[in-house]
DNA sequence: GATCGATTGGACTGGAGAGTCCAAGATTAG
DNA sequence: CTAATCTTGGACTCTCCAGTCCAATCGATC
């Protein structure tokens, strides 16, 4: 293994992070450090050598998750027609929401709202907020192009995002009901886009 | 105090419940029984005499909260015009969401999704689900009356509820940003209703 | 092979909280 | 007054977990 003399082993740093992701997703923010250590195949002390505390581990791990998850939200193909673009946005949104890791990150952010506000804040900023902002920009551009008429693009983006997500996020977080199929996602995406366009047609 | 021989004191049962509501709202589901006891002005043992365990106390308390909160959702004045009725629905929805007790109940349901699924289930059924169902019925009636055209009222109800709630619930739960003012609520309710009607006009 | 520092496992401390136990005190029916 | 039963407070047990400590070990470099 490529590692300098007595230097911290980077592979372990990663293994710990991966384990933390899994364990926190499964057990929630109350997961024990022992469990993380076991899963990472590492001793508890080693975790404390790499990250100083549980809070720090959670922080780093959520940063990484945020980056990983929001990467999917980065590609709004603004070149298509409005309907195609909106449906695409909806599809991605639903997929991210239903991804177990997306869900668990959200739950972490909610549960930890008081104990670790920076985490909640980071998740919200990088997730919903950034995503809506990008959509709002798209809507503004379409409005300038005369294909839509959104006097308040930010509000319109909120509306569209909400239509797509609705209670589905809550439901998934509470583990209620069956997961959405690909066909469900497709139907919702198309219908939401169509209705939205009707609501905001010039 | 009106109480039978050596019978459990009903006034205390209530005091405990009230205290539990407050404490769980403030401290989250991790609040200690000692705290509840202190707040209720009662000894810990007495709580265990009335409710057998923490889980049971939480269950009873959440049932009560559910009833209290969803009572507000019970009055869709279907007699008004669609715009007025929808705006009214939106107003109530936002108010319930922003009520600290509504928020804390939701958070409880999410945190406890694994450890007490019945609670999550009850909250979801009595809250979002019942509320959307009522709205869907209203939309179906309006469709029959020819004032709207909702081929799938359940889906349309999801869309409208989502527009209104959107990221606002998440935001409030994570304690991010300022609370909505009455003026905000009014503006959102009216705009959402207008856009929805445009999307579903016959 | 000697050295330096990371790693390990396992014991340990300290704190918090659920739930139990009990002896003393209060309340009410009869 | 007495009996029955609840209430109290406070000590107590158990369990779980964060974080520390340490002696033995391992691995890369020189």
Give the span between the Cα atoms of B198 and A76, in whole angstroms.
Answer: 26
Task: Note the residue count of chain A.
Answer: 202
Per-residue model confidence (pLDDT) at position B100: 82
Per-residue model confidence (pLDDT) at position A138: 92
DSSP 8-state assignment for residue B177 = S
Give the span between the Cα atoms of B4 and B1, in whole angstroms.
Answer: 9
Per-residue model confidence (pLDDT) at position A2: 41
Per-residue model confidence (pLDDT) at position A80: 66
DSSP 8-state assignment for residue A33 = H
Element at A162 (helix H, strand E): helix A153-165
Percent of chain A that is helix, strand, coil (3-state, to 5)? 75, 0, 25
Contact A95, B147 (CB under 8 A): no
Per-residue model confidence (pLDDT) at position A51: 94
Per-residue model confidence (pLDDT) at position A7: 62
CB < 7 A from strand C, the residues are A 5-9, 12, 41-46, 49-50; B 1, 3-6, 30-34, 44-45, 48, 53-55
Dihedral-angle region of residue B176 (phi above 0 means left; psi in -120 to 50 means alpha; beta otherwise): beta
pLDDT tens-place string over residues B118-174: 888 988 998 899 899 999 999 999 999 999 999 999 999 999 999 999 999 999 988
pLDDT tens-place string over residues A12-42: 889 999 999 999 888 888 899 999 999 999 9
Range from A71-75, A111-115, B107-111, B193-197 that averages highest in pLDDT: B193-197
Per-residue model confidence (pLDDT) at position A4: 47
- For an interface test with A, give the residue of B31, B162, B169, B185 to mutate (most A CBs within 10 A): B162
pLDDT-above-90 percentage for chain B: 57
How far lies A73's CA from each of A125, A134, A184, A190, in Å? 13, 9, 20, 18
CA–C1' distance A43–C11 (Å)?
14
Regions of chain A with pLDDT less than 70: 1-8, 73-80
Per-residue model confidence (pLDDT) at position B202: 93
pLDDT tens-place string over residues B65-106: 888 877 777 655 555 688 999 999 999 999 988 888 888 888
How far lies A17's CA from each of A40, A45, A67, A143, B145, in Å? 8, 15, 14, 44, 58
Residue at minimum CA to C1' distance from nucleotide C17: B32
Per-residue model confidence (pLDDT) at position A38: 95
Per-residue model confidence (pLDDT) at position A60: 92
Contact A156, A136 (CB under 8 A): yes
Is the predicted pLDDT of residue B185 greater than 90, yes or no?
yes
Tell me the average pLDDT across B7-36: 87
Confirm whether any atom of chain D, the nucleic acid strand, is less than 7 Å from CB of B38. no
Stretch 115-174 of chain A: residues touching chain B, C-beta under 8 Å: 117, 120-121, 123-124, 128-129, 132, 155, 158-159, 161-168, 170-171, 173-174
- pLDDT band at B12, cuts 50/70/90? confident
Average pLDDT score, chain B: 88
Question: Within 40-99 of chain B, which residues have Cβ less than 7 Å from strand D?
Answer: 41-46, 49-50
- pLDDT band at B109, cuts 50/70/90? confident
How far lies A183's CA from each of A91, A190, B34, B51, in Å? 11, 11, 50, 46
Is the predicted pLDDT of residue B1 greater than 50, yes or no?
no
The residue among A8 and B33 whose pLDDT is bigger is B33
Instruction: List helix spans (H) across A71-99.
Output: 82-98
Contact B37, B43 (CB under 8 A): yes
């Amino acid at each position: 293994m490529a590692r300098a003399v007595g230097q911290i082993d980077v592979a372990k740093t990663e293994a710990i992070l991966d384990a933390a992701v899994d364990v926190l997703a499964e057990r929630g923010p109350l997961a024990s450090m022992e469990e993380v250590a076991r899963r990472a195949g590492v001793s508890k002390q080693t975790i404390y050598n790499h990250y100083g505390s549980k809070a720090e581990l959670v922080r780093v791990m959520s940063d990484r998750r945020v980056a990983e998850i929001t990467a999917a939200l980065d590609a709004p193909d603004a070149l298509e027609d409005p309907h195609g673009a909106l449906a695409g946005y909806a599809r991605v949104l639903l997929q991210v929401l239903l991804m177990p890791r997306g869900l668990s990150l959200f739950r972490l952010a909610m549960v930890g709202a008081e104990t670790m506000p920076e985490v909640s804040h980071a998740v919200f900023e990088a997730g919903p907020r950034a995503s809506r902002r990008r959509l709002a920009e798209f809507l503004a551009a379409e409005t300038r192009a005369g294909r839509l008429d959104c006097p308040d693009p930010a509000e319109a983006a909120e509306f569209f995002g909400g239509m797509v997500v609705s209670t589905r996020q809550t439901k998934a977080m509470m583990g209620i009901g069956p997961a959405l199929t690909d066909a469900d996602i497709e139907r919702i995406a198309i219908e939401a886009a169509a209705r939205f366009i009707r609501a905001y047609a010039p």
